[in-house]
Each structure stands twice: as C-alpha cells, then as structure tokens.
Amino acid sequence: MRNVAALVGMVLASAVLGGCSGGLLPGGQAEPGTFSGTWDGAAWNGRSYAVLHHDTMTVVGHRKDPQYYYDEYIVVQVPFTGPGTYAVSESAGELKKLVGGDAGQFPPAAGTLVIQRYDASSHTVSGQVTLRATSLQPAWEASGSFDAPVYSSFDLAPRGR
C-alpha cells in the first residue's frame, strides 16, 4: 500500500510539473509567432503574440531594431467575437518606439484589425493589421500580417524575445 501511495504521489507531481510548460494555454506554442509588414514604408519583420482575456483580444507585434538600441511595437486591442474585421480606435491601437528601455514615443493609432483565423484548440490566431498614428507629423504608419500564439494573460506571453 505504501508503494502505491508513493507511485500516486509521483504521478501527481509529474502531472503538475508537466502542466507548467512555459505558462501557455494548453496546446499553445513556447515561442512567439511572426509579424511581417511595413513601418513607414520600410520592411518590418518581428515577433507576435496575442492575449485573449475574457472577451478582449490584444495582438502585439514586436521588433528589436537590428542597427540601433530600440524596440518597436504594434499593439491592437478589440472586443473579440471571432474571425472578422474590427475597427481600431485611437484608444485601442498604439505604435510604440521604446529607446534604451525607458524612453520613447507611444502615440495612439487607429486603423483596422482583420482576424482571418482563430483556432481555439491550437491557441493560434492569424490576420492583418493596419494602423496610423496621426498625432505625429509626419504620421507613423504600420501594417502587416501576423500568425501568433494566444495566451490567457500577459504574464504568460513571451515578451522581450
């Protein structure tokens, strides 16, 4: 009986530790997805991830600049009802440039988010986004396609990679 209890304990511990695989939703990816497009007319390739929390989908594109010490982000947040086209207001979109880790520009941006595919079983989403930050002159523009893993919270997403 003692050996059975020890075996059950080991199986339970393995199950708990196995469930802690990077903090992803079950079936999710361990790495960020891809984002390909343009930023002010120049090629822009980065990583992407999405967070679906309650009824809100946030899609993030992130690129570390290869020549300079800064990061660029494309961020869109919409009430999510499934695949379709979503209008993005300035309060729901941002084009960010973070310089040196703590300074930068964070203008709001408006545009469109198109979710072409959302797969709840594999926890992935894909589509296109187009944003324009008109508060800057000249305005910043970004657009592109993404294929991203979906997480249940920002704490679980692979930011900074």
- The Cα diameter of the chain in Å comes to 75
| pLDDT at residue number 149 | 95
Tens digits of per-residue pLDDT, 90-101?
A: 999 999 888 876
Supply 153's token pair: 């919270």
Whether the predicted pLDDT of 156 surpasses 50: yes
Residue 149: half-sphere exposure toward Cβ, Cα within 13 Å: 21
The residues, ordered by sequence, that sit 6+ positions from 132 with a Cβ below 8 Å of its Cβ are 109, 110, 111, 139, 140, 141
Structural contact between residues 72 and 62, judged by C-beta atoms closer than 8 angstroms: yes
Section 130-157 average pLDDT: 91
The residues, ordered by sequence, that sit 6+ positions from 161 with a Cβ below 8 Å of its Cβ are 31, 32, 47
- Cis amide bond preceding 158, omega within 30: no
pTM of the predicted model as reported, rounded to 2 decimal places: 0.78
Whether the predicted pLDDT of 71 surpasses 70: yes
Return the top range by mean pLDDT from 59-68, 109-118, 151-160: 109-118
Q: Are strands 140-151 and 42-53 parallel, antiparallel or unpaired?
A: parallel
Residue with tokens 């961020």: 75
More reliable by pLDDT, 86 or 13: 86
Section 111-127 average pLDDT: 96
